[in-house]
Amino acid sequence: MIAFSHAVSELLVVKAVRAYADARAAEIGGVELLHGDTRHGDLAQQLAEVSAWIDQGVDAIVVMPIDAAALQPLVDRAHARGIRLLSYAFPLPGSDGEAGFDSVVSGRVCGAAAADFIRERFPEGGAQALVGGLAATPLSAPRWLEPIQAIVAAGGTVVAIGEGAAIETGRSETERALRSHPELSIVAGINDEFAVGAAQAFAAAGKDPARSFICGQDGASEGLREIARGRQYKGTAAILLDQLGAAIVDMAINAIEGRPATISISAEYVSLADPARLAVLMAAFDRLGA
């Protein structure tokens, strides 16, 4: 029995990763996969669900650590019970492995694309940007710090930092930024959901797609579909979510069986510049039914 705790399980991309993990468990056979319900980076909720799984005696726990120090006593408790405890997305001292992805690479990929757009479309300067962040997951900071650095280096100005990762949040944060900065033309989302909301706000405001740039991160189905429309949403720093979901199961099994149990899934920039690649990633979600 394997249990998986994510910090923000309400996000659509997390549901997709879970679905891929479930598919991998079904493919292997004989693997029961439990999913936690921690939302909004609620540390108390995560500690409670991980503690309950330890008491239940599961074989392995994969957890996206909200606070590594707060989780340390549970790492020790799990080990005392013979339970393997792995981290997801971010390192966790004392863990038995990691199913991860590189937030620095993800943020850098999105930031580089934004910088290229600024240099091409705003050579005279004046590009204004909103960057999405999420204080509840401070270990995700490269996802907003890298784009900020790239945008500023390209001559753009970051006029607002958004907070949140849901579609509704991306829309409301972008609407708010547009009220103060009507010339806003760049949004670098912490994830595709925030970026999809930003695209909705840009469309409602009548922003010219030729002078607008929105980039997401993760390669979620919502973002890929928005990219395919060919409007303000230009690209995403896509992680291969099918591989990430499978890694949750595979790395847990490796840890249980005493094999190396660490993997990091990289990110690639996906846009209409390569429609064939975009189609491949969208087809993977179609097969999943996401």
Q: Does residue 290 form part of some domain?
A: no
How much is the pLDDT for 290? 56
How much is the pLDDT for 160? 97
Tell whether 80 and 93 lie within a shared domain.
yes
Tell whether 250 and 235 lie within a shared domain.
no
Tell whether 24 and 131 lie within a shared domain.
no
How much is the pLDDT for 289? 66
The Cβ of residue 99 has, within 10 Å, a number of other Cβ atoms equal to 29
Tell whether 70 and 108 lie within a shared domain.
no
- Report mean pLDDT in 10-residue bins for the chain, 290 residues: 95 91 96 96 96 98 95 97 96 95 94 98 95 89 97 98 94 98 97 97 97 96 95 96 95 97 94 96 78
Q: What is the CATH number of the domain that holds 33?
A: 3.40.50.2300
Tell whether 61 and 145 lie within a shared domain.
no
Residue 196 to residue 214: CA distance in whole angstroms? 9
In terms of residue numbers, what domain contains 145?
Answer: 103-239
Q: Does residue 277 form part of some domain?
A: no
| Cβ-proximal residues to 151 (8 Å cutoff; 6+ apart), any chain | 111, 114, 115, 118, 127, 129, 131, 157, 158, 186, 188
Tell whether 136 and 254 lie within a shared domain.
no
Q: Does residue 269 form part of some domain?
A: no
How much is the pLDDT for 255? 98
Query: Considering only CA atoms, which of 249, 246, 250, 228 is closest in space to residue 288?
Result: 246
Count of structural domains within the chain = 2
Give ∠ CA 256-262-266 in degrees, rounded to 5: 145
Tell whether 108 and 92 lie within a shared domain.
no
